[in-house]
């Protein structure tokens, strides 16, 4: 039984996440997902739209996910002692560096392979979180413009 681990913020679920998780699961038998805490998301990316508990609960609802955990607050390696993955996957755009992770794993005597996944080629079909946010803001700006114009004509 090969345990594969994938991590991420999974803020506003989209098909890019599903693709990432499916590619990860192909590498083994069981897919375990670690959802980054709000503080980790803040450090690595931005203020999360959805709080960690909600992001975790939603990830658990996916067919592809066998088990899901919330990451640890300060030490991202701490959870590995619990999960004991055989493979740790990295998304193509995740900032973590393979070499650094492998070194940290060795220091902690954790035997896991680190594999970076490739980018989805048919990317145009996917609606990433950033794309979704951009669309919402664009719609909001259009609405504001309409309101301004309508106001001017009153």
Site track 41-80 with a second copy (rule: CB under 8 A), x = hit: ------x-xxx-xx--xx--xxxx----------------
Q: Are strands 87-90 and 67-70 parallel, antiparallel or unpaired?
A: unpaired
Cα separation, 59 vs 68, in Å, equals 7
Instruction: With contacts defined by CB under 8 A, name the span among 29-37, 82-90, 101-109, 126-134 that binds a second copy.
Output: 126-134
- Rg for the chain (alpha carbons), in Å? 19
Give yes or no for residue 83 binding a second copy (CB under 8 A): no
Closer Cβ to a second copy, 18 or 110, answer by number: 18
Give min distance, CB of 121 to a second copy, in A: 17
Cα separation, 108 vs 83, in Å, equals 14
Cα separation, 43 vs 148, in Å, equals 37
Instruction: With contacts defined by CB under 8 A, name the span among 70-78, 80-88, 97-105, 135-143 that binds a second copy.
Output: 135-143
Cα separation, 87 vs 115, in Å, equals 7
Closer Cβ to a second copy, 59 or 80, answer by number: 59
Closer Cβ to a second copy, 45 or 108, answer by number: 45
Closer Cβ to a second copy, 2 or 51, answer by number: 51
Sequence-ordered list of residues with C-beta below 8 angstroms from that of 18, at least 6 positions apart, any chain:
62, 64
């Amino acid at each position: 039984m090969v345990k594969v681990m994938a991590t991420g913020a999974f803020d506003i679920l989209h098909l890019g996440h599903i693709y990432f998780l499916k590619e990860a699961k192909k590498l083994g038998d069981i897919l375990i997902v670690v959802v980054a805490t709000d503080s980790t998301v803040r450090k690595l990316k931005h203020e999360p739209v959805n709080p960690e508990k909600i992001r975790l609960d939603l990830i658990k609802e996916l067919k592809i996910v066998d088990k899901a955990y919330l990451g640890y607050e300060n030490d991202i390696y701490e959870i590995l002692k619990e999960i004991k993955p055989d493979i740790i996957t990295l998304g193509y755009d995740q900032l973590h560096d393979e070499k650094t992770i492998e070194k940290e794993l060795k220091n902690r005597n954790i035997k896991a392979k680190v594999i970076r996944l490739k980018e989805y080629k048919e990317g145009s079909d996917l609606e990433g979180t950033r794309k979704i946010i951009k669309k919402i803001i664009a719609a909001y700006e259009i609405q504001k413009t309409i309101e301004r114009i309508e106001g001017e004509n009153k």
